């Protein structure tokens, strides 16, 4: 479905484009595997086979090998609330949202050459759409965990332990489809299967309890488990984009904020896969719909209302009523001549350390405003000792778009790297990338990209890992961890709906959270990412820089993100002002204060002044925290082999440079030869004429 309804559609009566993610949660392999389960392919037949085989040539997660590998599953353990030992698995065992399920799998290379193998675990959750009028949408399979062996010699074995977290395959019920009075993440009652597979479609036969059996392990939940808190941060997770719960101007699914549900968008439902062609009619009718004119509504009114608000904000937090302190003379610095000192180290260890207050009191508002409008890095904050820090692209090569050399190593595309399914390799890649950043004098990378491969036809898919956000998030968290050991930071991008085409991107909140936000969450919480770049697209009718729900609600509140947020190169100054009010910090190619009637000085409201001060807090913390990560790594390297894929920066091969040099040399040589011939000719061909003229004169 995503391939059919691809790219930005033009409203017939409005000069804006949009894209509807009508596939809902059924994206990529989740569509193909679920459609097969629902017999959608039964009538398909061609020279490649029948049914599923006639449609899919290579399932998600497939791989080729010269070898055959056998798997033996050891004692599966269920550890609840971080138990040391845990309970041994029995068929039908119960688990909760606080249970971690450990699968020890011994992989043996039965081939004749060295090789590696990947163990993939997929979760199959109970679906009630065929027995109930209303049910939560669920793909047939979801990747829940994976692991890869080291290189195994012929006949050699290795045991890898894969830990599965039920939160990773919980369903987000944004509409209370199962009518249990709850909107949020749920693990519904019923039978669950954790399936060991060689790809998303093929179950692996394994040795378990000394018997060869299909690698399907059954579990059971007696009653619905409602998960209202993020298991890592403990922060409340609830609807922020849907209907009357929406924080922003319009909901992401184009419903009304008054609570009514009469959408003009018809989302794909598993219970009606056989009628998928009917979606074309409603999809095309959307072009005649009245779009949200609030997409580019006047920022001035919104900004002024935000600046002068009192009481509590959209998230129940108190709005400041007193101005912060500026220009204090406390004699504090976070760095001496650009080198982070002991005071800076204390601040990098704790965002909420009491030492922050006297330091931030020293800030000058003018220098913070100047930093906000900077480009290719963050400008200095001389009042506290912060130097200019250089930030540059790109996702696979640092300084890839910069004109000046040297550049960093040019690595394979992120899609190629992710196809290794090798978390250890990604960690080493991150360290190597960080070494390149040191070598070329760059502090921050505008990367890595984590955009979801909605289809194969987006031109920048090569920058991002995968269509599966579990795979992407797990791998890229390790890449970010590796890079941070070098005292550098990433600005993961593009948060969060890049690659759709169109300015207004509509989808369900379930699709947003399960398919698009999962990788970013893992990179923040598991990888410790310190920077974020927004995107060009809109979250519904709200541009990504103007969405309180996404930037404050999810990123800063639910995930507890304390680092810095920058725009992409948007070229529209007012977005910088709205970004600041949504918890952002930088404008790439834009600057604040260009909207008439909006200013930043010491007469601004207390809320605005605290907002500006917090920008400096975020940016300083991003830099100091990166240094903290490096010092922690150097003090506790553990079993890290510290391998390097590159240690020096090598100038990239540019084919046109030697060609241009050759042309210049050739042209110069020919020109020199021609000049020499002219000169020689001038002095050698005239003597006879001179003698003849002399005789005639006599």
86 CB-side CA count, 13 A: 22
Give me the CATH number covering residue 173.
2.60.40.10
- CA distances to 120, 215, 317 from 161, rounded to whole Å, are 11, 15, 42
Distance CA 215, CA 207 (A): 8
Asked if residue 46 belongs to a domain, the reply is: no
In the DSSP assignment, the letter for residue 378 is: E
Asked if residue 446 belongs to a domain, the reply is: yes
- The answer to whether the Cα torsion of 265, 266, 270, 271 is positive or negative is positive
What would the mean pLDDT of 145-156 be, rounded to a whole number? 98
In the DSSP assignment, the letter for residue 219 is: E
Q: Are residues 360 and 220 in the same domain?
A: no
The pLDDT tens digits of the residues spanning 438-488 come to 999 999 999 999 999 988 888 788 899 999 999 999 999 999 999 999 999
Give me the CATH number covering residue 463.
3.20.20.300
Q: Are residues 458 and 541 in the same domain?
A: yes
| 612 vs 82: which has the higher pLDDT | 612
Asked if residue 643 belongs to a domain, the reply is: no
- DSSP for 93-156 reads EE--TTEEEEEEEEEEE-SSS-B--EEEEEEE----TTTSSS-----S-EEEEEEE--PBPTT-
Contact indicator for 553, 496 with CB cutoff of 8 Å:
no
180 CB-side CA count, 13 A: 19
Enclosing domain of residue 216: 58-228
pLDDT at position 502 is 64
Nearest to 413 by CA among 465, 459, 456: 465
| 400 vs 506: which has the higher pLDDT | 506
The pLDDT tens digits of the residues spanning 95-150 come to 999 999 999 999 999 999 999 999 999 999 999 999 999 999 999 999 999 999 99
Domain boundary among 588, 605, 635: 635
3-state secondary structure 557-605: HHCCCCCEEECCCCCCCHHHHHHHHCCCCECCCCCCCCCCCCCCCCCCC
**Around Cβ 120, how many Cβ atoms within 10 Å?**
27
pLDDT category of residue 601 using cuts at 50, 70 and 90: very high
Asked if residue 68 belongs to a domain, the reply is: yes
Q: Are residues 668 and 596 in the same domain?
A: no
Q: Are residues 216 and 345 in the same domain?
A: no
Q: What's phi and psi for 367, nearest 5 deg?
A: -75, -30
Distance CA 286, CA 253 (A): 13
Q: List Cβ neighbours of 500 (8 Å cut-off, separation of 6 or more).
A: 7, 8, 19, 21, 454, 537
pLDDT category of residue 292 using cuts at 50, 70 and 90: low
Whether 648 has a pLDDT exceeding 60, the answer reads no
Whether 400 has a pLDDT exceeding 90, the answer reads no
pLDDT at position 639 is 58
Domain boundary among 203, 228, 253: 228
**Around Cβ 168, how many Cβ atoms within 10 Å?**
18
What would the mean pLDDT of 326-351 be, rounded to a whole number? 98
Q: Are residues 625 and 675 in the same domain?
A: no
pLDDT at position 643 is 43
Q: Are residues 363 and 506 in the same domain?
A: yes
**Around Cβ 100, how many Cβ atoms within 10 Å?**
18
Q: Provide the β-strand partners of residue 416.
A: none
Q: Are residues 575 and 690 in the same domain?
A: no
Q: Are residues 72 and 107 in the same domain?
A: yes
Distance CA 382, CA 113 (A): 60
Q: Are residues 335 and 203 in the same domain?
A: no
- CA distances to 21, 505, 637 from 251, rounded to whole Å, are 14, 11, 46
Asked if residue 567 belongs to a domain, the reply is: yes
Distance CA 207, CA 454 (A): 36
Asked if residue 176 belongs to a domain, the reply is: yes
Q: Are residues 135 and 169 in the same domain?
A: yes
Domain boundary among 197, 213, 228: 228
Asked if residue 325 belongs to a domain, the reply is: yes
Strand residue runs (E) in 435-568: 444-445, 489-490, 492-495, 504-506, 531-534, 538-539, 542-543, 564-566
Whether 531 has a pLDDT exceeding 70, the answer reads yes
Share of the chain above pLDDT 90, in %: 68
pLDDT at position 5 is 64
Q: How far apart are the first and last CA of the chain?
A: 102
The pLDDT tens digits of the residues spanning 17-68 come to 788 888 999 999 999 999 999 999 999 999 999 999 999 999 999 999 999 9
Tell me how many domains the chain contains. 3
CA angle 682, 688, 693 (to 5 degrees): 105
- DSSP for 13-50 reads TSS-EEEE-TTTT--THHHHHHHHHTTTTTT-EETTEE
- The answer to whether the Cα torsion of 215, 221, 226, 232 is positive or negative is negative
Asked if residue 9 belongs to a domain, the reply is: no
Q: List Cβ neighbours of 148 (8 Å cut-off, separation of 6 or more).
A: 116, 117, 118, 119, 160, 420, 421, 422, 423, 424
Q: Are residues 359 and 406 in the same domain?
A: yes
Q: What's phi and psi for 506, nearest 5 deg?
A: -110, 140
Q: Provide the β-strand partners of residue 218.
A: 193
pLDDT category of residue 358 using cuts at 50, 70 and 90: very high
Whether 290 has a pLDDT exceeding 60, the answer reads no
pLDDT category of residue 401 using cuts at 50, 70 and 90: confident
Q: Are residues 222 and 337 in the same domain?
A: no
Chain centroid to CA 613: 27
Contact indicator for 102, 79 with CB cutoff of 8 Å:
yes
């Amino acid at each position: 479905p995503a391939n059919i309804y691809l790219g930005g559609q033009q409203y017939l009566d409005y000069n804006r484009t949009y894209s509807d993610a009508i596939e809902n949660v059924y994206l990529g392999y989740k569509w193909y595997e679920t459609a097969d389960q629902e017999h959608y392919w039964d009538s398909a037949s061609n020279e490649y086979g029948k049914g599923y085989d006639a449609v899919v040539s290579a399932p998600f997660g497939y791989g080729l090998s010269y070898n055959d590998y056998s798997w033996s599953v050891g004692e599966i353990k269920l550890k609840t609330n971080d138990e040391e030992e845990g309970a041994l698995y029995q068929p039908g065992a119960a688990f909760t949202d606080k249970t971690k399920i450990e699968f020890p799998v011994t992989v043996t290379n039965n081939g004749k050459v060295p090789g590696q193998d990947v163990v993939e675990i997929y979760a199959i959750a109970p679906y009630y759409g065929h027995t109930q009028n209303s049910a939560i949408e669920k793909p047939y399979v979801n990747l829940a965990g994976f692991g890869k062996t080291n290189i195994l010699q012929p006949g050699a074995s290795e045991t890898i332990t894969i830990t599965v977290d039920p939160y990773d395959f919980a369903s987000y019920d944004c509409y209370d489809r199962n009518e249990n009075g709850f909107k949020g993440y749920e693990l519904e009652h019923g039978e669950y299967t954790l399936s060991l597979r060689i790809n998303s479609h093929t179950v692996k036969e394994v040795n378990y309890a000394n018997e060869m059996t299909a690698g399907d392990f059954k579990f059971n939940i007696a009653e619905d488990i409602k998960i209202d808190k993020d298991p890592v941060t403990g922060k409340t997770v609830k609807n922020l984009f849907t209907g009357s719960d929406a924080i922003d101007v319009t909901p992401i699914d184009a419903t009304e904020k008054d609570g009514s549900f009469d959408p003009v968008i018809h989302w794909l439902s598993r219970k009606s896969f056989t009628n998928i062609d009917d979606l074309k009619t409603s999809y095309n009718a959307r072009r005649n719909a009245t779009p949200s004119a609030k997409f580019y509504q006047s920022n001035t009114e919104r900004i002024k209302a935000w600046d002068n608000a009192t009481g509590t904000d959209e998230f129940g937090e108190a709005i400041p009523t007193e101005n912060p302190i500026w220009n204090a003379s406390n004699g504090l610095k976070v760095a001496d001549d650009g080198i982070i000192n002991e005071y800076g180290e204390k601040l990098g260890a704790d965002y909420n350390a009491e030492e922050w207050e006297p330091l931030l009191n020293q800030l000058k508002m003018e220098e913070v405003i100047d930093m906000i409008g900077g480009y290719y890095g963050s400008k200095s904050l001389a009042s506290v000792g912060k130097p200019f820090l250089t930030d540059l692209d790109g996702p696979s090569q640092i300084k890839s778009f910069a004109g000046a050399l040297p550049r960093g190593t040019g690595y394979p595309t992120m899609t190629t790297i992710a196809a290794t399914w090798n978390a250890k390799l990604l960690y080493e890649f991150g360290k190597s990338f960080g070494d390149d950043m040191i070598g070329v004098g760059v502090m921050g990378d505008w990367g890595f990209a984590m955009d979801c491969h909605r289809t194969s036809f987006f031109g920048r898919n090569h920058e991002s890992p995968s269509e599966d956000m579990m795979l992407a998030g797990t791998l890229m968290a390790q890449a970010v961890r590796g890079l941070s050991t070098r005292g550098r930071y990433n600005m993961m991008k593009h948060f969060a709906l890049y690659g759709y085409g169109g300015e207004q991107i509509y989808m369900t909140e379930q699709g947003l959270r399960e398919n698009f936000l999962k990788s970013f969450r893992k990179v923040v919480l598991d990888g410790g990412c310190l920077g974020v770049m927004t995107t060009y697209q809109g979250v519904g009718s709200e541009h990504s820089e103007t969405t309180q729900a996404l930037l404050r609600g999810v990123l800063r509140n639910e995930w507890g993100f304390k680092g810095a947020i920058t725009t992409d190169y948007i070229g529209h100054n007012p977005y910088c002002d709205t970004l600041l009010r949504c918890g952002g910090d930088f404008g790439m190619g834009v600057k604040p204060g260009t909207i008439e009637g909006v200013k930043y000085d010491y007469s601004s409201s207390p809320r605005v002044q605290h907002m500006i001060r917090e920008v400096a807090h975020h940016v300083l913390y991003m830099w100091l925290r990166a240094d903290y990560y490096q010092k922690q790594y150097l003090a506790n390297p553990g079993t890290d082999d510290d391998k390097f894929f590159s240690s020096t920066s090598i100038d990239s091969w540019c084919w046109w440079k030697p060609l241009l040099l050759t042309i210049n040399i050739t042209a110069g040589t020919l020109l020199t030869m021609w000049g020499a011939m002219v000169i020689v000719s001038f002095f050698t061909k005239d003597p006879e004429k001179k003698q003849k003229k002399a005789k005639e004169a006599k």
